[in-house]
Amino acid sequence: MELRLSRVLVVDDEENIRHMLGAVLRQEGRRVTLAASADEALDELSSKTFDVMISDIRMPDVDGLELLSRAHAAVPELVVIMMSAYGSVDTALEAMRRGAYDYIAKPFKPAEVSLLLRKAEERERLKEENKALRTQIQTLQAPAVGNMVARSDAMARIFKTVRKIAEYKTTLLIQGESGTGKELVAQAAHKYSPRALLSFVPVNCGAIPENLLESELFGHKKGAFTDATQDKKGLFDEAHEGTLFLDEVGELPLNLQVKLLRVLQEEEIRPVGDTVGRKVNVRVIAATVKNLEEEVAAGRFREDLFYRLNVLPITLPPLRERAEDIPPLVSHFIKSTNVRLGINIQGISQDAMRLLLDYRWPGNVRELENTIEHAMVLAEGDQIDVDTLPAKVREGAGNRADTLLGDTLSIKKASRIIEERLIRRALEQTGGNRTAAAKLLEISHRALLYKIKAYEITDL
């Protein structure tokens, strides 16, 4: 077993104590340096690197407590254990207050020092793991906004853009395939805006009959049409001072496109049947699966409205172009589905994850979420396995390079995807033995550890 605290400095003015500790610690495989005084110890600390210092408290000239203070000033991470034949509770507390890891009273058995070092090593191991975990959490959380989870460079850039533009009232147009998370981006833009505490009002322009859509958006006056038995506020009124999310804005009929353009330009609405308009303060975010430039060219969407909506455009890439986002999304959906359904699925098998990475995901993130829920409900044990995945995922996934890489033409991105896949395969074949995996990959062990951390490969 590798010793974490292998380089030890022993400081004591009693020669027999120095040599006894030196012999015991060397027998454990530690590299020991002996010093007869605080001055000698400080000289050693200035010229060599140590993991731990074991020092007597009572020494001539400079005592152990002063040495402790100076040593920590020079090497803050140094683990220090103090010892003394004249121990008291006050002495121990003072040593701990100055930064000592622990205190041992003379006389002591060699095994007591060995036990203290093992405890200190365990503490250092936990500190390293906690630090690594914090780094991992920060890495996962940094490229995220709202309820969206991603790891890819493409999504990280989008998240950065959303945070930057959120504070402005300017119209935002979000384009992308169905299921890529357009409404989540809109929610995030609202959440990080000064309007966050006010209303976020979503409306699907393609789901409301055309004859009712104008009344839904702008409201109506009593008697404006047959069923208008009372005044009704529209969604623009409901979103006043907040955000209105117009999903599938490409489905708006041309006559309503004219009225929406007027609202955006004049910040004024006129309810159906009313002769007087009124001001509204609404931040509009629009989204569509359609290519609005093609719709403009075909005469189905007004060019002036397109340019008014397209002030701050965001295009969400499909999931097949960002396979590196699948593992964190799977982890996120497992956790959220556990809470929602009251079940306890712990993870996903390597073979099942491989199928998810190979599948093309025509329904994008929404399809992935539904797939994970499907698999969790059918799972017999505490993890998702291949046989719990939908048949279309099992049959539609393959190991072809074009499936893995999606539509990307980026050599840099393709290299990252392939490299991560090869590392996972090597680790699987070696049962997680990183030294053996490094040999298979023909890279150094150190390089493999770096890449495992960079790709956040933690599920093997």
Q: Using one digit for the tens of pLDDT, what is the confidence trace for 60-89?
A: 888 889 999 999 888 888 999 998 877 667
Q: Does the pLDDT at position 265 exceed 60?
A: yes
- Out of 201-205, 220-224, 291-295, pick the least confident: 220-224
Question: Both ends of the chain: CA-CA distance in Å?
Answer: 22
Report the pLDDT value the prediction gives residue 263, as an integer from 0 to 100. 92
Please give the biggest Cα pair distance in the chain: 105
CATH number of 321-454: 1.10.8.60
pTM: 0.58
The Cα–Cα gap between 293 and 338 comes to 42
- Summarised one tens digit per residue, pLDDT across range 236-261 is 999 999 999 999 999 999 999 999 99
Q: Strands 268-269 and 79-84, how do they pair?
A: unpaired
Superfamily of domain 153-317: P-loop containing nucleotide triphosphate hydrolases (3.40.50.300)
Of the ranges 122-131, 170-179, 220-229, 426-435, the best mean pLDDT one: 170-179
The Cα–Cα gap between 268 and 221 comes to 16
Measured at the CA of 365, the angle between CA 362 and CA 366, to 5 degrees, comes to 85
Could you tell me the pLDDT band of residue 11, with boundaries at 50, 70 and 90? very high
- Reported as half-sphere exposure (CB side, CA atoms, 13 A), residue 301 has a value of 20
Handedness of CA 215, 216, 221, 223 (dihedral sign): positive
Report the pLDDT value the prediction gives residue 257, as an integer from 0 to 100. 94
Give the residue-averaged pLDDT of 144-160.
80
Retrieve residue 402's tokens: 């074009």
The answer to whether the 153-317 and 321-454 domains have the same CATH topology is no
Task: At 396, give phi and psi (nearest 5°).
Answer: -90, -10
Report the pLDDT value the prediction gives residue 148, as an integer from 0 to 100. 82
Task: At 224, give phi and psi (nearest 5°).
Answer: -65, -30
DSSP letter at 28?
Answer: T
Q: Strands, DSSP E only, in 198-311?
A: 200-204, 243-247, 268-269, 278-279, 283-288
Measured at the CA of 190, the angle between CA 186 and CA 195, to 5 degrees, comes to 155
Retrieve residue 257's tokens: 């496109």
- Reported as half-sphere exposure (CB side, CA atoms, 13 A), residue 185 has a value of 33
Could you tell me the pLDDT band of residue 311, with boundaries at 50, 70 and 90? very high
Report the pLDDT value the prediction gives residue 441, as an integer from 0 to 100. 85
Beta partners for 81?
54, 102
Q: Does the pLDDT at position 408 exceed 60?
A: no
Give the residue-averaged pLDDT of 152-165.
89
Q: Does the pLDDT at position 321 exceed 80?
A: yes
Domain-wise residue ranges, the chain: 7-136, 153-317, 321-454
**Rg of the chain over all Cα atoms, to the nearest angstrom:** 32
- Out of 110-114, 161-165, 214-218, 406-410, pick the least confident: 406-410
- Summarised one tens digit per residue, pLDDT across range 34-60 is 999 999 999 999 889 999 999 998 888
Q: Does domain 7-136 have CATH number 3.40.50.720?
A: no
Report the pLDDT value the prediction gives residue 236, as an integer from 0 to 100. 93
Report the pLDDT value the prediction gives residue 55, as an integer from 0 to 100. 92
- Summarised one tens digit per residue, pLDDT across range 363-397 is 999 999 999 999 999 998 889 999 999 999 988 75
Give the residue-averaged pLDDT of 340-357.
90
